[in-house]
Amino acid sequence: MSDLLLQSDVAPGIVQLTLNRPAVRNALDAALIDALAAAFAHHAARAATRVLLLAGAGPAFCAGADLGAMRALGRADEDTNRADARRLALLLAAIRACPKPSIACVHGAALGGGVGLAAACDVALGADEARFVLPEVRLGLVPAVISPYVLDAIGPRQARRYFLSGESIDAPRAREIGLLHAVFAPAALMTAAIALAREIARGGPAALGAAKALIDEVGGRVAAPRLAARTADILAELRAGAEAQEGLAAAIERRPPAWNG
C-alpha cells in the first residue's frame, strides 16, 4: 500500500482506507488517485473484505484536485490532459461499481473531487463541522467528472444551485439535501461508521454486491464508461482554456480572477 493511502483493519471484514496527504488537505494528484483505484480493485477481489471505509488524515477529508497540477495539465498536450481527466472519472466509476459497500467518513472540508469521492461511496457520514464546496465555476471550470455521483446524491434541482454558486454547504444542509446520510460529533464519526459497517456486513457478500448493482440498474443511473469518458472530456476541454487557466492561477496566487477584477 502506498504511503499516500493508509490501510487498516478496524474490525473483522471492515477495512479503512485513509487519504494521507494531510499537508495539502489530501488534495488529489495522479499518484493518490492511482493508489486509491488500486486499493478498491484489490478489495473488490478480496473475499475477506466486507465493507470499506474511506477517510482523510489531518484536518480535512479531501480538498479536491491539486490546483498546481490542474493548471499544469491544462497547459499539457491534449492527450495528456484528457488522460488525466479520465483517471479520476475511472476511479469514481470503480468506487461505485465495487461489489464491496463503501462508507465515506467526512470531516473538515470536502471540495470538488472530495465531494465526488463522498458521493461515489454508497453511504456518506459526516462530522458536524464538515463542509462541502463545489468551487469549480469560480475557477473557470465545471464539476464534470463528479457530476453523475453528485447529481445522484442531491438531484438536479439542488445541483443547479450549488454547481452555479460555489457556496459552502455545512453538514446539516448536506444531510438535508442528501449529500450526507447522517451527522455526528467529530469524536463519534468513526465509531458510528464502524457500527454501520458491522450492520452492512451482516448481509450476504454476493447479495450486497447484487443489491448495489440492482439499485443502479433499476434507478437508471449507472455511470457507464461512455459517460465517464464524456465528463472527462468536458473537464479537459475547459481546463485547457484561457478562463480556467486564469481561474487556477488566481486561486494559486490568492487573488481575484480577472472576471471579478
User: Tell me: the pLDDT tens digits for 55-105?
Assistant: 999 999 999 988 888 888 888 888 888 988 899 999 999 999 999 999 999
Full-model pTM: 0.95
CATH number of 5-187+205-219: 3.90.226.10
Tell me the three cell numbers of residue 89: 472519472
pLDDT value at residue 220: 66
pLDDT value at residue 221: 64
pLDDT value at residue 66: 87
pLDDT value at residue 25: 97
Half-sphere exposure (CA, 13 Å, Cβ side) for 125?
Answer: 20
The Cα 9–Cα 75 span in angstroms is 41
Tens-digit pLDDT string for the chain (261 aa)? 579 999 999 999 999 999 999 999 999 999 999 999 999 999 999 999 999 999 999 999 999 988 888 888 888 888 888 988 899 999 999 999 999 999 999 999 999 999 999 999 999 999 999 999 999 999 999 999 999 999 999 999 999 999 999 999 999 999 999 999 999 999 999 999 999 999 999 999 999 999 999 998 887 665 566 778 889 899 999 999 999 999 999 999 999 999 997
Q: Which of 184, 54, 59 is nearest to 116 (CA)?
A: 54
Q: How far apart are the first and last CA of the chain?
A: 45
| Strand arrangement of the beta sheet that strand 182-184 belongs to | 5-11, 14-19, 51-56, 102-106, 123-127, 182-184
Q: Which of 148, 23, 57 is nearest to 95 (CA)?
A: 148
3-state SS class at 125: strand
3-state SS class at 261: coil
Q: Are strands 14-19 and 5-11 parallel, antiparallel or unpaired?
A: antiparallel
